[in-house]
């Protein structure tokens, strides 16, 4: 009436190895889908219009202040008359000083328009 105690351990090991192979093949399939999406063959980011004021409050206000007065970043009051739209797009894209590059990735055109027209 003695049962072999090694059998449950072997069964668990076999199931674990099988699960590992199953998940590996699943990951390979997902990797192909991700590569297709990054190459532009699948889903792409939506380029919808953003509300520049809301985007500013979510992303920029921490450094430039709620009223554009400047906190750790410079004041944005009068920036629209100081810089051209192309210069502002360049700053949003490449950064300047403590301003990190790419903070408004994909939204540079809309943000530059808003800054030039609203923050004179």
Query: What residue numbers does the annotated binding site for heme c cover?
Result: 60, 63-64, 99
Please report where in the chains the tokens 């192909």 appear, as a residue: 32
Q: How far apart are CA 29 and CA 118, in angstroms?
A: 48
Structure tokens at 3: 């049962």
List the binding residues.
60, 63-64, 99
């Amino acid at each position: 009436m003695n049962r072999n105690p090694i059998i449950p351990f072997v069964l668990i090991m076999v199931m674990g190895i099988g699960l590992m192979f199953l998940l590996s093949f699943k990951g390979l399939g997902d990797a192909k889908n991700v590569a297709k999406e990054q190459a532009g063959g699948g889903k792409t980011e939506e380029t919808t219009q953003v509300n520049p004021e809301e985007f500013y409050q979510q992303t920029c206000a921490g450094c430039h202040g709620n009223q554009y007065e400047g906190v750790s970043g410079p004041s944005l009051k009068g920036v629209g008359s100081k810089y051209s739209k192309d210069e502002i797009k360049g700053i949003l894209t490449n950064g300047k000083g403590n301003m990190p590059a790419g903070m408004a990735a994909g939204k540079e055109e809309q943000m530059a328009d808003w800054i030039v027209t609203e923050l004179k």
